[in-house]
């Protein structure tokens, strides 16, 4: 086996964010850039010799060439075997399922999730641990430190592997097995839900659904599960062929980027009863009923409240967890069920220790991510199947189920306002000034609303005791409303400011007030506290979801 050692120098800025390292394709395409980061991952591991690595991605531009590089480097790092999805494809939840099923040492996932693709788009890479979940902060910090001191990377001199054909190949002394990217994940999902009941729903006269795969990774998974195993009509899955540039679209399942799906569900002539979409790597979801969009926070709460409808969860939930910016709707369900509810920082890795310890069964983030203890990633298709199982069991509409939920628990009116591509210096200035105001905010009244607490959220993991500081600024108001400010860790250029607005409404007579109208006073309060327009020059958010 011919191992080649190449001298290199560190690149600045290779610090992993919420879900790995994400940069523009042109950044990753620099000679040595990908190699430095991959070698830093391998240098931060121990005990991988002879073990199995899982590898795959969402099929975006650069995915195929990056995989060949990583295979050669994995062989040089001593891995004994790599399991890779056919065509280099593995959705993020599927990668987690494969890691867990085959007891792999870990996995590398190539994705920038919901970010745009193509040669001018984004690329990303992250490492998942043996539990199938994203690497914890101690590991990602070790990788970052290594990127700042790396002096060489290593690879095995070997030809490319044919990723299009199922079977076994070799890179040096390492075995490469190209596997069906869909089978393991689909088989797992079939054990969780009542497929016979869902199939009957999909065959029912008057019920018709549409799943928008957004030309991203979920297309093959949705076709296998919805159309083949559950018998939905051909064509139920639209935009189902994964493309390196996602067909020129933005693979983020929200009302802005999945506008055609939303419009179709609002048009009675379409005949659609249910709609869903997933993102670039298959871990996010959007649920749409007839002329009714379900907010991600409400979705998590409804799933928890209706857990008994799905066979895998009918015996009860150990607990639930949500990221701090996610609305408190699920908290109310947890109190009703008398189960624990954990509030964590944003990032699925923070749910991992809770899931591994058996403290929670369901978890979710405000950014359209929900999941359970079946894998250690959020899972878009899992959420869609859960909703279908609930619809099949209750024989009610999406809107009817959510409105009944509001009547029982009250409505947490909720929205996220994104200000994208802000100059980093301006974003840093906004947060520095905001943090400086925190000590004086509690007890004050702004725009007729009294502030009870203002803090910079910190989290101590109840399982491993690790501490995470500065995870977002919370402004909690009398009556259960709140405003949260956070800088996103998923962008590749500048900074994305996310402002989360949440108002609790108990009175059912006010539940139908449009969300942005109900939240307008909170938006005004957010501007007065943070001076967003004055510091950033932005008078309105780029995306409202």
- Domain-by-domain residue ranges, the chain? 3-181, 185-409, 411-544
Q: Residue 421's pLDDT is what?
A: 87
Beta strands in 31-80 (DSSP E): 52-57
Rounded-to-integer distance, Cα 110 and Cα 91, Å: 9
What is the per-residue pLDDT across 200-239, written as a single tens digit (0 to 9) for each? 999 999 999 999 999 999 999 999 999 999 999 999 999 9
Q: Is 422 left (phi over 0), alpha (psi -120 to 50) or beta?
A: beta
What value does the mean pLDDT take over residues 406-427?
93
Q: Give the residue numbers annotated as catalytic, written as ranges.
A: 113
Q: Residue 492's pLDDT is what?
A: 56
Rounded-to-integer distance, Cα 483 and Cα 500, Å: 6
CB crowding 73-101: b at 16 or more within 10 Å, else e: bbbbbebbbbbbbbbbbbbbbbbbbbbbb
pTM of this prediction exceeds 0.85: yes
Rounded-to-integer distance, Cα 313 and Cα 446, Å: 44
Rounded-to-integer distance, Cα 229 and Cα 310, Å: 17
What is the per-residue pLDDT across 180-189, written as a single tens digit (0 to 9) for each? 999 999 999 9
Sign of the alpha-carbon dihedral angle for 87, 91, 95, 97: negative
CA atoms within 13 A on the CB side of 130: 9
Homologous superfamily assigned to 411-544: Alpha-D-phosphohexomutase, C-terminal domain (3.30.310.50)
Task: Yes or no: say if 74 and 160 are a contact pair by the CB < 8 Å rule.
Answer: no
Rounded-to-integer distance, Cα 3 and Cα 1, Å: 6
User: H or E stretch including 438?
Assistant: helix 424-441
Instruction: List all residues 6 or more positions away from 81 whose beta carbon is below 8 Å from its beta carbon.
Output: 51, 52, 53, 174, 175, 176, 177
Q: What is the mean pLDDT of the chain?
A: 95
User: H or E stretch including 106?
Assistant: strand 106-110
Domain 3-181 identical in fold to domain 411-544: no
Closest CA to 369 of 384, 356, 355: 384
Q: At which residue do the structure tokens 């989360």 appear?
A: 500
- Pick the residue with more confidence: 381 or 136? 381
Cα distance between the two ends of the chain: 52
Hey, how many other C-beta atoms are within 10 angstroms of the C-beta on 256?
13
What is the per-residue pLDDT across 489-527, written as a single tens digit (0 to 9) for each? 555 567 899 999 999 999 999 999 999 999 999 999 999
- pLDDT level of residue 542 (50, 70, 90 thresholds): confident
What is the per-residue pLDDT across 255-304, written as a single tens digit (0 to 9) for each? 889 999 999 999 999 999 999 999 999 999 999 999 999 999 999 999 99
Q: Residue 491's pLDDT is what?
A: 53
Instruction: List all residues 6 or more positions away from 127 whose beta carbon is below 8 Å from its beta carbon.
Output: 20, 41, 106, 107, 108, 109, 134, 135, 139, 140, 143
Q: Residue 19's pLDDT is what?
A: 78
Sign of the alpha-carbon dihedral angle for 385, 390, 396, 401: negative
> What three-state secondary structure class fits 376?
coil
Rounded-to-integer distance, Cα 545 and Cα 526, Å: 16
Instruction: List all residues 6 or more positions away from 507 whose beta carbon is below 8 Å from its beta carbon.
Output: none
Tokens of 59: 């099929």
Is the domain 3-181 a CATH 3.40.50.720 member? no
Q: Residue 490's pLDDT is what?
A: 55
Q: What is the DSSP letter of 134?
A: B
What is the per-residue pLDDT across 347-398, written as a single tens digit (0 to 9) for each? 898 999 999 999 999 999 988 899 999 999 999 999 999 999 999 999 999 9
Q: Are strands 495-505 and 411-422 parallel, antiparallel or unpaired?
A: antiparallel
User: H or E stretch including 486?
Assistant: strand 482-487
**For the structural domain made of 185-409, what CATH number should be given?**
3.40.120.10
Q: Residue 493's pLDDT is what?
A: 66
What value does the mean pLDDT take over residues 25-49?
97
Instruction: List all residues 6 or more positions away from 488 whose beta carbon is below 8 Å from its beta carbon.
Output: 18, 418, 495, 496, 497, 498
Q: Residue 181's pLDDT is what?
A: 96
In percent, the amount of the chain with pLDDT more than 90 equals: 91
Closest CA to 89 of 229, 191, 185: 185
3-state secondary structure 508-528: HHHCCCCHHHHHHHHHHHHHH
Q: Residue 368's pLDDT is what?
A: 86
Task: Yes or no: say if 28 and 70 are a contact pair by the CB < 8 Å rule.
Answer: no
- pLDDT level of residue 17 (50, 70, 90 thresholds): confident
CA atoms within 13 A on the CB side of 491: 16
At residue 346's C-alpha, the angle toward residues 283 and 298, to 5°, is 65
- Pick the residue with more confidence: 338 or 544? 338
Query: In angstroms, what is the C-alpha Rg of the chain?
Result: 23
Rounded-to-integer distance, Cα 302 and Cα 330, Å: 8
């Amino acid at each position: 086996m011919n191992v080649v050692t190449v001298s290199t120098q560190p690149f600045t800025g290779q610090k992993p964010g919420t879900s790995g390292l994400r940069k523009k394709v042109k950044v990753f395409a620099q000679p040595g850039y990908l190699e430095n980061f991959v070698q830093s991952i391998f240098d931060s591991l121990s005990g991988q010799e002879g073990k199995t690595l899982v590898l795959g991605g969402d099929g975006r531009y650069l995915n195929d060439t990056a995989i060949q590089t990583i295979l050669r480097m994995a062989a040089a790092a001593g891995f004994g075997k790599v399991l890779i999805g056919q065509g280099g494809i593995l959705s993020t939840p599927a990668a987690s399922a494969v890691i867990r099923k085959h007891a792999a040492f870990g996995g590398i996932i190539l994705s920038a999730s919901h970010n745009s693709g193509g040669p001018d788009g984004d690329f990303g890479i992250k490492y998942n641990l043996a539990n199938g979940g994203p690497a914890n902060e101690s590991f990602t910090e070790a990788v970052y430190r290594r990127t700042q001191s790396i002096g060489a990377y290593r690879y095995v001199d070997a030809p490319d592997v044919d990723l299009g054909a199922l079977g076994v190949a070799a890179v040096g002394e390492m075995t490469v097995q190209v596997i069906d990217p869909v089978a393991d994940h689909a088989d797992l999902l079939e054990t969780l839900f009542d497929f016979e009941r869902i199939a009957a729903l999909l065959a029912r006269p008057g019920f018709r659904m549409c799943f928008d795969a957004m030309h991203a990774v979920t297309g093959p998974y949705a076709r296998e599960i919805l159309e083949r195993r559950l018998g939905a009509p051909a064509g139920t899955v639209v935009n189902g062929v994964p493309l390196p540039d996602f067909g020129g679209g933005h693979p983020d399942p929200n009302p802005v980027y999945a506008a055609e799906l939303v419009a179709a569900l609002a048009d009675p002539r379409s005949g659609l009863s249910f709609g869903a979409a997933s993102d670039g790597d298959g871990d996010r979801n959007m649920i749409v009923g007839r002329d009714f969009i379900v907010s991600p926070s409400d979705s998590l709460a409804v799933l928890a409240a209706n857990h008994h409808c799905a066979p895998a969860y009918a015996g009860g939930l150990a607990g639930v967890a949500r990221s701090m910016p996610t609305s408190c709707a699920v908290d109310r369900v947890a109190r009703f069920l008398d189960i624990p509810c954990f509030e964590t920082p944003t990032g699925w890795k923070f749910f991992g220790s809770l899931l591994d310890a058996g403290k929670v069964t369901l978890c979710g983030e405000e950014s359209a991510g929900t999941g359970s203890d079946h894998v250690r990633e959020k899972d878009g298709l899992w959420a869609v199947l859960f909703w279908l199982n609930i619809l099949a069991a209750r024989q009610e509409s999406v809107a009817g189920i959510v409105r009944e939920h509001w009547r029982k628990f009250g409505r947490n009116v909720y929205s996220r306002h994104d200000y994208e591509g802000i100059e980093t210096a301006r974003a840093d200035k906004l947060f520095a000034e905001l943090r400086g105001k925190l000590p004086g905010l509690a007890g004050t009244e702004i725009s007729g609303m009294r502030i009870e607490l203002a803090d910079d959220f910190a989290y101590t993991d109840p399982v491993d005791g690790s501490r995470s500081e500065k995870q977002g600024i919370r402004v909690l108001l009398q009556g259960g409303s709140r405003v949260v400010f956070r800088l996103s860790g998923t962008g590749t250029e500048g900074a994305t400011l996310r402002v989360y607005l949440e108002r609790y409404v108990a009175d059912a007579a006010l539940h139908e007030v449009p969300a942005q109208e109900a939240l307008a006073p909170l938006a005004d309060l957010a501007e007065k506290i943070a001076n967003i327009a004055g510091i950033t020059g932005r008078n309105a958010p780029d995306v409202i979801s």
